[in-house]
Chain A
C-alpha cells in the first residue's frame, strides 16, 4: 500500500514537472480533432455547422484555411485567427477546450525560444475527401 502510494506520488510529481515540455498535440488542430467515440475531425465538425465543402479539400491545417479565412481579414471569410480564438475561449465555463484541455495556448501554438516567437502548429488533414458525401460520390461512380 505504502509503495503503491509512493509510486503514484512520484508519478504525479514527475508529470507535473514535465508537463510543460511535453507536447501532446504536435500537429495542432489535427492532433486534437480526431475520430474517437465522437467523430471530432474538422471536416465532420464543420459539416455539422453548414460549412462549405471547400474546407474538405484543404490539405495543410490550418494553413490552407487561409485561402478564405485570411488572418489579416482580407479574405472572403472572417479572419481565422479571431475566429479560432473565439471558438476556443468563449463561454469558458462550458467550452470544452477550456474545461477539458485547460485552454492551453500551446496545444495549438509552439514557442521558438531562440527566436522568441510563438508559431502555429500545422499538420496534414486527417480525413479522406469522400467521407462526408458518400451518396454523391457513389452516384458519380455509377454514372
Chain B
C-alpha cells in the first residue's frame, strides 16, 4: 500500500513536470497584457509589480504612467544619434542576461510570447500592453 502511494505521488510529479516541458496549449495566453500580467503584487512573497521593482533600483516615480510598456517610451526613447540603447534592448537584456540564473529564463521558460504576440495574418510580432497595476 505504501509502495503504491509512493508510486502514485511520483507519477503525479512526473506528470506535472512533463506538462511543463510539453508545448503550451495552442491559443492559451497566460500573460495577455505582457509586463503587468507577469509583474504582479504577489509572486510568492515578493511584490513583483514594476512600480516596486523600479523603486528598488532607484528609478524615479512611475506613478503617472497609465499603459505599460507604452508609456515607458515617454522617457526611454533615445535621441537620434545617441549611443543609449533603445528600450527594447534594455528589456531584452534584463530578461535574457545570464540565462542560467535569470528568473525569466529558468522559471518562465524565456518564452518571447509572454511579452509578444504574433499577428499571423500580417506576419508581424507585436508587443503586448496593459494598464498599470499600481
Report how far A89 CA is from B116 CA in the complex, Å. Answer: 13
- Kindly list chain A residues whose C-beta atoms are within 8 Å of the C-beta of B118: 85, 89, 103
Q: Is A140 an interface residue (CB 8 A)?
A: no
A114 touches B93 (CB 8 A): yes
Q: Give the interface size class of chain A.
A: 35 or more
B92 touches A86 (CB 8 A): no
Of the candidates B96, B106, B122, the one whose C-beta lies within 8 Å of that of A113 is B96
Number of interface residues, chain B, beta carbon within 8 A: 44
- Kindly list chain B residues whose C-beta atoms are within 8 Å of the C-beta of A105: 111-113, 116, 125
**8 further contact pairs, Cβ within 8 A, besides A92-B120, A103-B118, A113-B92:** A9-B10, A92-B27, A105-B113, A106-B110, A109-B112, A113-B97, A116-B89, A116-B90
- 7 residue pairs from A and B, CB less than 8 Å apart: A2-B6, A17-B106, A86-B123, A92-B26, A98-B23, A109-B112, A116-B93
